[in-house]
Amino acid sequence: MSPSTDEVSTPGSAPSSEQKRALASFNPFDPAVQAQPFEYNDRLVAEAPVYREANTGLILVSSHALVNQVLCDHETFSNRFMLMMGGGAKAKVPDAVAEVMKGGYPPVDTMLTADPPEQRRFRSLVNKGFSLRRVSALAPRIEALTQELIDGFAAEGRVELRSKFAVPLPLTVIAEQLGVPRADLEKFKKWSDGFVAQLGGMASPEEQVEAWKLIVEFQKYFEKVLKDRAENPQADILSAVVNAKVEGEAPLDIAECLSILQQLLVAGNETTASSICHGMRLLVEDPEQRALLRAEPERIPNAVEEILRLSTPTANMWRVCIQDTELGGVEIPKGSAMLVRYSAANRDPAIFPDPHRFDVTRANAGEQLAFGAGVHFCLGAQLARMEMAKAFEALLERLPNPRIAQGSPPPEYPPNILLRGMTTLPLEFDPA
């Protein structure tokens, strides 16, 4: 068992007290801090679990207990954060962006960016598409896809795992469930990347125009597919969503369906791909843990929880405080913008002893908050868990003696305030 890679390879390891820099000298928008948030997170959890960030005035929430408290109190901490970020249904947008938007459907705040009771209506309709029965039925297809993707590189003894496996696996699964043929997968990925960039809250007006062009293209594409599925339902998630009926709830209209599809596209791709890369890197660098999982594959589900804990692909999420309150002894005025730091909560030593250590046998790994909690708990958690488990099972089985490719640079993490991905994962292994 070894400390997690991130911890050793970076300024992530706890500094001695004389080296300590002032908390105010960290900036959560600094790409270096986003890439390696661990020193900052440790300090926040220990010294200021509710902290008014000096540069931006944002309230950062970091300890496991307080993050959980915020997530479970949607009456005080709202998910209607798109307005604050220049997006969402009622946002004022630059003229050039408005011009592009005219060509498509207006944005609607649905699940992630809505609060109950509206959020509950969307969620209860969409839950039908993600029932345990429906997700379990996908297991054989996910298994077949993992094998097919590995067949593509097993004989070569090397692979860039992100582009050849971690991205196409969840992308193909969700694309098939949304009725997108293989030939259109590239387009699908481009739309997903566009949404991710916009969600990061760091897009310039020019980038927003580009993002909206993609969104309109996406809307036009799915407008047709949605109409088709309404008339000719098939055995996929899309048909279940379009045709979902819940007692007392109005069915979804096209603009609402499009907003939901957009969330599924983003949430289902980038995060799952990142967790597969982070997890494989942890396993490659820890032969002892890898051998344990190969000998006892029944431990893989717990390893998935531990990997989610350490990788936390959704590193942060926004909230807006909608009534004057107090949290962890700190006054929070109505209207405050907040950043909930899942990545800090998942390494809180009060819950996870020796928190930076990778331990697939950790008894309480399942207490990780990588999927959130409360009413916005991840809709795709069961699907993501299944994709990860099948991925690690197949990769450990079929890539003997895996190692980081010789001479490859340290991993890079694209700047994004919410999602912590990994750009590439070049591996070598003994060819089949």
Q: Least separation, in Å, of the C-beta of 370 and ligand HEM?
A: 5
Does residue 262 contact residue 222 with C-beta atoms inside 8 Å? no
Entry field: residues in the chain: 432
Q: Which residue is nearest to ligand HEM (CB)?
A: 380
Each residue 274-303 as x (binds ligand HEM by CB under 6 A) or -, in order, gives -x----------------------------
CB closer to ligand HEM out of 97 and 411: 411
CB closer to ligand HEM out of 150 and 175: 175
Q: Please identify which residue in 34, 239, 262, 272 interacts with ligand HEM, judged by CB under 6 A.
A: 272
Specify the pairing of strand 59-61 against strand 337-341. parallel
Q: Least separation, in Å, of the C-beta of 173 and ligand HEM?
A: 8
Stretch that binds ligand HEM, among 14-22, 54-62, 262-270, 350-358 (CB under 6 A): 262-270
Residue 198 to residue 417: CA distance in whole angstroms: 11
CB closer to ligand HEM out of 101 and 166: 166
- Does residue 192 belong to the site contacting ligand HEM (CB under 6 A)? no
Stretch that binds ligand HEM, among 178-186, 290-298, 312-320, 424-432 (CB under 6 A): 312-320
CB closer to ligand HEM out of 71 and 258: 71
Q: Please identify which residue in 33, 82, 93, 267 interacts with ligand HEM, judged by CB under 6 A.
A: 267
Site residues (CB under 6 A) for ligand HEM, limited to 208-237: none
Q: By CB under 6 A, how many residues form the interface with ligand HEM?
A: 27
- Does residue 391 belong to the site contacting ligand HEM (CB under 6 A)? no
- Does residue 257 belong to the site contacting ligand HEM (CB under 6 A)? no
Q: Least separation, in Å, of the C-beta of 124 and ligand HEM?
A: 10
CB closer to ligand HEM out of 370 and 396: 370
Each residue 68-97 as x (binds ligand HEM by CB under 6 A) or -, in order, gives ---x-------x------------------
CB closer to ligand HEM out of 313 and 411: 313
SS (H, E, C) the chain: CCECHHHHCCCCCCCCHHHCCCHHHCCCCCHHHHHCCHHHHHHHHHHCCEEECCCCCCEEECCHHHHHHHHCCCCCEECCCCHHHCCCCCCCCCHHHHHHHCCCCCCCCCCCCCCCCHHHHHHHHHHHHHCHHHHHCCHHHHHHHHHHHHHCCCCCCEEEHHHHHHCHHHHHHHHHHCCCCHHHHHHHHHHHHHHHHHHCCCCCHHHHHHHHHHHHHHHHHHHHHHHHHHHCCCCCHHHHHHCCCCCCCCCCCHHHHHHHHHHHHHHHHHHHHHHHHHHHHHHHCCHHHHHHHHHCHHHHHHHHHHHHHHHCCECEEEEEECCCEEECCEEECCCCEEEEEHHHHCCCCCCCCCCCECCCCCCCHHHCCCCCCHHHCCCCHHHHHHHHHHHHHHHHHHCCCCEECCCCCCCCCCCCCCECCCCCCEEECCCC
Q: Please identify which residue in 43, 80, 123, 281 interacts with ligand HEM, judged by CB under 6 A.
A: 123
Site residues (CB under 6 A) for ligand HEM, limited to 337-376: 342, 370-372, 376
CB closer to ligand HEM out of 238 and 370: 370
Residues binding ligand HEM (CB under 6 A): 71, 79, 111-112, 119, 123, 174, 263-264, 267-268, 271-272, 275, 313-314, 317, 342, 370-372, 376, 378-380, 383-384
